[in-house]
Structure 1
Amino acid sequence: MANSAQNGRDAEGRQYGEYDLVVVSNRLPVDHTIDEDGQGVWRRSPGGLVTALAPVMAKTEGAWVGWPGVPDEEVEPFDHDNMHLVPVALSADDVELYYEGFSNATLWPLYHDVTAAPEFHRTWWECYKTVNRRFAEATAEIAAEGATIWVQDYQLQLVPKLLREARPDLRIGFFNHIPFPPLEIFAQLPWRRQVIDGLLGADLLGFQRPSDTSNFLRCVRRFSGFNVRQQQVQVENSDGGVRLCRAGAFPISIDVEHISELAHRPDVIARSEQIRHELGDPDTVLLGVDRLDYTKGIGHRIKAYGELLEDGKVDVENAVLIQVASPSRERVESYRLLREEIEGAVGRINGTFDTLENTAIRYLHHSYPVEEMVALYLAADVMLVTALRDGMNLVAKEYVASRKEVDGALVLSEFAGAADQLKQAILVNPHDIDGLKEAIVRAVNMPPAEATRRMRAMRRQILQNDVEHWSRAFLKALEQAGTHD
């Protein structure tokens, strides 16, 4: 809870803040919307991170530091849903250079195995440093003495060290929601040492998969020279002392209870039945749900499905693929080109195989509320998750959580973090189009008994490891990590 003792001072003699738990992320956990009366209101964002941390924040009356989502706008700190929200202002130039530039055109492709070519621009890096400092300063100002700080994701990799320098009393955690690349790929980053040093400011670094943790520790050995023992880094301080930074895997999950509750709601069930009827009541509904991003393997999936139609392995009269591709980073050129490519491929396949009554691929370039997504999960016999590289992929877990009848089949890329946990899915290498085609056919024709056995095992795993389990596990490990003078 908020700390009432506010007479402490930080390293520079400034007064300590009052919040014992502070989450720091690129975005605040709220969106600014217009209500029915035309008034501007803040509403809680639907994302998984917000769902994971809201219960913890409510119990501790913690604070959340982040950008409010609108450039060139100063917003005063405010309270919302038992959280104190501290907006960090970004200019239009900041959004272009720090967010769209360094974060999403340099780090994102680099950290996703160079699925697209990363760009290295010094002006982007300078802005990234400036914005990270702004986030760190806002955090240091509100944190109570000895507070716990949890920094989120690749946009803010310099914040842990900046916080450590300003407030050595703090306990600092960092979680990387996306993959961490192998040494040979990370080595391409011109500012690799600065990023490693920034991350090593934390007491605990969390990654989605053990392989991500191993990649990071290899990079530490290579570029920092610090001693690494098992999963701990002995970080040498400027005063000659040694501090421990631990790294480990903490796979994120979903709000299983909420998804399950929606899957049992009569209106959601009725909507799922309506979806199948509107599709012409096909024998098989296949579903893909992704942000429109080049890491998601949407093109590979559509290519494989188109070839199955050509081969006669699936028939447009008996099967349909629904592809939801929600808009993403539409100002970034590579994303605009990807949209043209995907929509062109869908158009060619539909032009070849559609009949007056049936459509091969229903392509939906929209975002949908979670109720509609669960209805789609219920309507789908086969879920296709074919990411070329993904930190976790929560869509796979949501599909499993929604299958209350313990049926359906999941085709899952082995390059998604979820593959470590959902081992009973049909695992595929999405680059292998023939193998992907075989997996889809296998899923479509899977005997009900086998489908039930696989789904039951995956549901058990998801139920035992929900998103609250993830946040509790990380914060408990953070409490035990690090040494402080």
Structure 2
Amino acid sequence: MSASAQDQNPEQFDFVVVANRLPVDRVVNDDGEASWKRSPGGLVTALAPVMTAADGAWVGWHGAPDETVEPFEHDGIQIVPVELSEREVNHYYEGFSNSTLWPLYHDVIVTPEYHRAWWDSYRRVNQRFADATAAVAAEGATVWVQDYQLQLVPKMLRAARPDLRIGFFNHIPFPPVEIFAQLPWRHRVLEGLLGADLIGFQRASDASNFMGAVRRILGFTIRGQQVHVQDEEGKLTHISRAEAHPISIDAQAVAKMANDPKVQARAKEIRRGLGNPDVVLLGVDRLDYTKGIGHRLKAFDELLEDGRLEVGGAALVQVASPSRERVEKYKELRDEIELTVGRINGQHDTMSHTAVRYLHHSYPFEEMVALYLASDVMLITALRDGMNLVAKEFVAAHVDSRGALILSEFAGAADQLKHALLVNPHDIDALKERIIEAVRMPTTEAQRRMRIMRRQISTNDVNRWSRRFLKSLSADPAESAHRTENRTTGAGDRDQEPDSAPEPDSVHQEH
């Protein structure tokens, strides 16, 4: 915070992050005393270092409905809680955000629900977030709004505080206009997003989808990556830009943990607990219908039936972190996955080995890195995914350059990790062949691929992502129009890096 801002108002800040959740969780010890600790969400991991360095403020919900919490400071970050009622949690979050927008933006894998009461709640909550942000942002501050729960905030902020520099980042995919057009409130959502000076997306295709929707639905003039935003009378109000800025991870922290002797010992213990199979296959996901968990279970089951893999020689570990358990579609998915696992194990288990080790838990960072190290093949079979940070964590953890990554071409990570074994997860036969290819891959080839992917991730880490986004946000629109905007090129053999560097997807980093 600048000295002048401090003199004017000690409660205002030059850099403000706005997200659905705060970067802290409340914990209660055995004596009943409550305190706060940094939460393990992927967004928090990405932005906490930037916040600490900037002495910034974070606006978000603290996680408990119908409770007021006063602002406080934690680890160098000013925490600004926003209150939500139980009804708003049901309508704004579980309703409009996760039962309307989430399935719509993930290509309607599950049918979205459209309820006017949900929309009304979404609009009111977005206004509350905008008001709280306007109150703590210093004159000329930079505000970075995060994700699909808060798509109306940029325009609301611009109306209240035209002096602010506003960025927005969409961590999940943005659908083609033919799908997005189904949304009854499509005009309002696009207008809300266009309140930002810069709108960031995971993939160039997402930015292109957004521009297509703006052109077709709003009819605004588009030049390159710039949108000439107009008021109701057709007068130009400002220029908004849409760019691809693929998010990444703290690769150095993952590698450091992977080199810890205790973590390496734990990895060996995990393999022993699985009966020391020749090959450990791993799936790590939130329990979400977008992740394609059923597809990989089907492929593994068929490989066992075909005799191409056998229990004892191969084991599949599936970590499925609990997610949105009050939403009906997620309850149904959990039942379906658990029935499938039970059937596979009932058919293929032996007295000494289990075919699928299913773990419906969240795990701490150290345990996840140990699990990555213990595994030979990572299965990312997302049907649609903004990025998928688990894929990057698996690569970063393999400091020995061992292992193989099978990666859905529908995950944003496929744009960077081109030396993974890319697959269409809907094609079960192709998925089976990729699994066999990974299991039988010569060590030298596996190491070559892994070294290239590790180089890409270490070069394009989460710090580079945030730095590049904020640099682009601060740039003059006229200057940015002349820049080359290909932001999703992977490292490749020459370690070529994109101009800028998540629905954060890590199970231990899920919010």
- Give the match for residue 5 of structure 1: 5
Are residues 65 and 403 of structure 1, via their aligned partners in 2, closer, same or farther at CA, if it must alter by over 3 Å? Answer: same
Is 1:355 matched with 2:350?
A: yes
- Give the match for residue 254 of structure 1: 249
Instruction: Select 2:455's aligned residue among 457, 460, 463.
Output: 460
Are residues 481 and 176 of structure 1, via their aligned partners in 2, closer, same or farther at CA, if it must alter by over 3 Å? Answer: farther
CA distance in 2 between counterparts of 1:7 and 1:178 reads 39
Relative to the length of structure 1, the TM-score reads 0.96
Any conservation in 2 of the 1:3–1:19 contact (CA below 8 Å)?
A: no
What's the Cα RMSD here?
A: 1.4
Relative to the length of structure 2, the TM-score reads 0.92
The one-letter code matched in structure 2 to 1:392 is: M
CA distance in 1 between counterparts of 2:457 and 2:476 reads 27
CA distance in 1 between counterparts of 2:3 and 2:201 reads 30
CA distance in 2 between counterparts of 1:140 and 1:5 reads 14
- What is the SS of the residue equivalent to 2:130? helix
Are residues 433 and 3 of structure 1, via their aligned partners in 2, closer, same or farther at CA, if it must alter by over 3 Å? Answer: farther
- Give the match for residue 229 of structure 1: 223
CA distance in 1 between counterparts of 2:236 and 2:446 reads 56
**Deviation of residue 5 (structure 1)?**
3.3
Task: Show structure 2 runs of 5+ residues with no match.
Answer: 479-511
The one-letter code matched in structure 1 to 2:474 is: E
CA distance in 1 between counterparts of 2:5 and 2:313 reads 68
- Give the match for residue 364 of structure 2: 369
- Give the match for residue 156 of structure 1: 150
Instruction: Select 2:39's aligned residue among 45, 65, 70.
Output: 45
Higher relative contact order (CA 8 A, sep 6+): 2
Alignment of 1:391-430 (within 5 A): 391-430=386-425
- Give the match for residue 477 of structure 1: 472
- Give the match for residue 187 of structure 1: 181
Are residues 163 and 7 of structure 1, via their aligned partners in 2, closer, same or farther at CA, if it must alter by over 3 Å? Answer: farther
CA distance in 2 between counterparts of 1:139 and 1:238 reads 26
- Give the match for residue 284 of structure 1: 279
Alignment of 1:45-444 (within 5 A): 45-237=39-231, 240-444=235-439
Deviations, residues 284-305 of structure 1 (Å, cap 9, x unaligned): 0000000000000000000110
Task: Show structure 1 runs of 5+ residues with no match.
Answer: 9-14
CA distance in 1 between counterparts of 2:4 and 2:88 reads 35
Instruction: Select 1:451's aligned residue among 427, 446, 452.
Output: 446
Deviations, residues 291-337 of structure 1 (Å, cap 9, x unaligned): 00000000000011000000001000201000000000000000000
The one-letter code matched in structure 2 to 1:463 is: S
Any conservation in 2 of the 1:2–1:62 contact (CA below 8 Å)?
A: no
CA distance in 2 between counterparts of 1:2 and 1:324 reads 46
The one-letter code matched in structure 2 to 1:375 is: A
Are residues 398 and 147 of structure 1, via their aligned partners in 2, closer, same or farther at CA, if it must alter by over 3 Å? Answer: same
**Deviation of residue 255 (structure 1)?**
0.7
**Deviation of residue 175 (structure 1)?**
0.1
CA distance in 2 between counterparts of 1:5 and 1:348 reads 63
**Deviation of residue 48 (structure 1)?**
2.2
- Give the match for residue 483 of structure 2: none
Alignment of 1:6-45 (within 5 A): 18-45=12-39
Any conservation in 2 of the 1:58–1:82 contact (CA below 8 Å)?
A: yes
**Deviation of residue 38 (structure 1)?**
3.1
Any conservation in 2 of the 1:16–1:141 contact (CA below 8 Å)?
A: no
CA distance in 1 between counterparts of 2:255 and 2:471 reads 27
Any conservation in 1 of the 2:228–2:236 contact (CA below 8 Å)?
A: no
The one-letter code matched in structure 1 to 2:96 is: F
**Deviation of residue 2 (structure 1)?**
5.0
The one-letter code matched in structure 1 to 2:29 is: D
Any conservation in 2 of the 1:2–1:18 contact (CA below 8 Å)?
A: no
- What is the SS of the residue equivalent to 2:288? coil
Any conservation in 1 of the 2:21–2:60 contact (CA below 8 Å)?
A: yes
Are residues 351 and 163 of structure 1, via their aligned partners in 2, closer, same or farther at CA, if it must alter by over 3 Å? Answer: same
Any conservation in 2 of the 1:48–1:255 contact (CA below 8 Å)?
A: no
Are residues 140 and 16 of structure 1, via their aligned partners in 2, closer, same or farther at CA, if it must alter by over 3 Å? Answer: farther
CA distance in 2 between counterparts of 1:271 and 1:69 reads 33
**Deviation of residue 267 (structure 1)?**
0.6
- What is the SS of the residue equivalent to 2:5? coil
- What is the SS of the residue equivalent to 2:341? helix
Any conservation in 1 of the 2:100–2:113 contact (CA below 8 Å)?
A: yes
